[in-house]
Structure 1
Amino acid sequence: MSNLRNLLVIEVGGVPVRVAPNGDSPEAIASFKGLIRRLKTTSLVSQTPQAISEPSRQVRVLLSVDFDAVSGWLGTGQHPRNCLADYSSGFFAGHVGVSRLIRLFKRLDVADKMTWFIPGHSMETFPVETQLIHDSGAEVALHGYCHEDCTRLSTQQEKDIFEKCIKLAQSLTGKKPVGYRAPLYRYLPNVENSHGYVPSQSIERMWQDRFAWLWNHGPDGEGPADFVFPLILHPDTSGMAHIIGTIESMILWMKGHGTQVEFVTYETVARSYLSQKRHA
């Protein structure tokens, strides 16, 4: 066995390795040391395989809530079969759903990095809740007055509704709103669906699948790239006790992707887009 005093340590692939010459003679040791010097300068030892780096991309999550409440049933959701149960879901949205969601968003540190789209009717019907939304630091944007179908309005009616809702938002928040989302969630009686039964886990999986595809392929399908990911919620459903956990799980899942994912308001993205257009 080689003399332990003749053991040398070299670094192979970043790992210290103890080696010894074959024999204890001065000639063997000298030859061995020469071999070590040559090995240290050769690319076979000095170059180590590099791990494939994670592609860099910047994801902007546009988390938003449409605070339709009762207005949804007065506009696009109005139909001959409306009943008190429909309107009660709107009151649930205002009295329960909003505050639940705000508490969740604050706990997850996204309350001031998102946008609430609020119809004028909801601002008037639930002024306290609207103020809570504003106080949370969120962006407050417009969503019609009573969730009306804009295709059935005259130009003057649209203008009047805009002016009224802008004044309402300013009176409650002290700031002129920047954003607007048209109420286009229409009732389609002839479209087949799942008869109202869709497990919340299925919705979460659908969101995750969509996010994962964009994460891996980018918006154009050619590889990882920056993208924007809108996620739209409604307090009459998202604020329910058996649903809100799904919302929390999805937000935490997206935040788990690290610093490449950030939550921002719609105003932030809109201004960024306009700035890029101007400098293009």
Structure 2
Amino acid sequence: MTFDFDALAIWFSTFKQTTPTALSRGEYGVRAGIPRILAMLARQGVKATFFTPAHTARNFPASLEAITSAGHEVAAHGLLHESPVGLPIEEERDLLFRSLDELEAVTGKRPRGYRSPAWDLSDNSIALLEEAGLQYDSSMMANDFQPYFARTGDKMTDDKITFGVNSSVVEFPVAWELDDYPYFHWSARPYNAGLRSTEDVFGSWKGEFDTAYAENGVFTLTCHPEIIGRGPRVAMLERLIEQMRARDGVEFLTMEEAAKKFKAAFQSEEIG
């Protein structure tokens, strides 16, 4: 279970919507979404990962305290929800390390993972995550329910793709089908038609989970407090969690825990 705790940063930076009403939607995630989500997770005994821009941590430290004191993981999600695409490597490195420093200053723990704002990476991103000592990323889509090691050094031309080498960074794949934004957030953007019923989304997510379960995979759901945080949607998410928990062998892990487990299994296979 992952939550991108963007607060005001996504509206200010990514969407370039700086008017009071637009920014208030991000504030909704702080005021209503986070308390409702944390209460639900506590009822279910589930630990989650909250990908958090440094801007959110800096401006809403009480929310970060509530998240960490409940045993949830805080991971990196940019300084101000900025995309790394097109940035010079030194600028991208500076933004990454500044975000890690700020999150550590607020939470007392250095993040172990990263999710790119807008789910997009530069050619340098994975190498920089490795340089920063991060253990995992969750921004790419080369599989659905099976983690893999992210590569560095891929080369794409009109004729062919030349794959690079595996890094030490575990990739937990994401998917638009497993993100609350396309289903619930209405905007003029064609991929955000939004305002779907909770029953429609429950059916879609349960179907995805059933496939992950059948394939012994890792089901990674991406939600946003300002979107999923409305009462009926949190109730739907809780019902989904209850159905997951009813299946034999299901574990709810933070991303950090899942990355450790994946690496341990990989090392055991190598030794074997």
Q: How does 1:52-131 map to 2 (within 5 A)?
A: 63-78=1-16, 83-110=19-46, 113-131=47-65
Contact 2:113–2:256 (CA under 8 A) maintained in structure 1: yes
Q: Could you report, residue by residue, the CA deviation over 1:253-274 in whole angstroms, capped at 9, with x for unpaired residues? A: 111113x101001011111222
Q: Could you report, residue by residue, the CA deviation over 1:34-67 in whole angstroms, capped at 9, with x for unpaired residues? A: xxxxxxxxxxxxxxxxxxxxxxxxxxxxx11110
Contact 2:77–2:116 (CA under 8 A) maintained in structure 1: yes
Question: What is residue 177 of structure 1 aligned with on the other side?
Answer: 111
How many positions carry a matched residue from both structures?
205
In 2: Cα distance, 1:145 partner to 1:200 partner: 32
Question: What is residue 198 of structure 1 aligned with on the other side?
Answer: 196
What root-mean-square deviation, in Å, do the aligned CA atoms of Structure 1 and Structure 2 show? 2.2
In 1: Cα distance, 2:192 partner to 2:103 partner: 37
TM-score by length of 2: 0.70
In 2: Cα distance, 1:91 partner to 1:191 partner: 22
Please point out which of 157, 179, 182 is paired with 2:91: 157
In 1: Cα distance, 2:109 partner to 2:35 partner: 22
In 2: Cα distance, 1:123 partner to 1:109 partner: 24
Residue aligned with 1:150, SS: coil
Contact 1:74–1:148 (CA under 8 A) maintained in structure 2: no
Contact 2:53–2:76 (CA under 8 A) maintained in structure 1: yes
State the shift of 1:185 in Å. 5.0
Larger relative contact order (Cα-Cα within 8 Å, sequence gap ≥ 6)? 1
Q: Which has the larger radius of gyration?
A: 1
In 1: Cα distance, 2:196 partner to 2:61 partner: 32
Unaligned runs of 5+ in 1: 1-62, 219-225
Contact 1:75–1:149 (CA under 8 A) maintained in structure 2: no
Query: Compared with structure 1, are the counterparts of its residues 227 and 127 closer, same or farther at alpha carbon in structure 2 (3 Å cutoff)?
Result: same
Contact 2:8–2:23 (CA under 8 A) maintained in structure 1: yes
Residue aligned with 1:257, SS: coil
* Aligned partner letter, 2:9: S
Please point out which of 237, 253, 263 is paired with 1:247: 237
In 1: Cα distance, 2:263 partner to 2:239 partner: 33
Query: Compared with structure 1, are the counterparts of its residues 275 and 204 closer, same or farther at alpha carbon in structure 2 (3 Å cutoff)?
Result: same
In 1: Cα distance, 2:188 partner to 2:64 partner: 35
Residue aligned with 2:251, SS: strand
State the shift of 1:140 in Å. 1.0
* Aligned partner letter, 2:39: R
In 2: Cα distance, 1:64 partner to 1:193 partner: 21
Q: State, as a whole percentage, how many aligned pairs show the same letter.
A: 28
In 1: Cα distance, 2:34 partner to 2:14 partner: 21
In 2: Cα distance, 1:165 partner to 1:191 partner: 29
State the shift of 1:191 in Å. 6.0
Please point out which of 222, 227, 232 is paired with 2:217: 227
In 2: Cα distance, 1:124 partner to 1:194 partner: 29
* Aligned partner letter, 1:166: L
* Aligned partner letter, 2:111: P
Question: What is residue 37 of structure 1 aligned with on the other side?
Answer: none
Question: What is residue 267 of structure 1 aligned with on the other side?
Answer: 256
Contact 1:69–1:122 (CA under 8 A) maintained in structure 2: yes
State the shift of 1:143 in Å. 0.5
Question: What is residue 48 of structure 1 aligned with on the other side?
Answer: none
Q: Could you report, residue by residue, the CA deviation over 1:115-146 in whole angstroms, capped at 9, with x for unpaired residues? A: 11111010011111011101010111110011
Query: Compared with structure 1, are the counterparts of its residues 174 and 213 closer, same or farther at alpha carbon in structure 2 (3 Å cutoff)?
Result: same
Q: Could you report, residue by residue, the CA deviation over 1:191-210 in whole angstroms, capped at 9, with x for unpaired residues? A: 63473231122111110011
In 2: Cα distance, 1:251 partner to 1:108 partner: 8
Contact 1:66–1:234 (CA under 8 A) maintained in structure 2: yes
* Aligned partner letter, 2:259: A
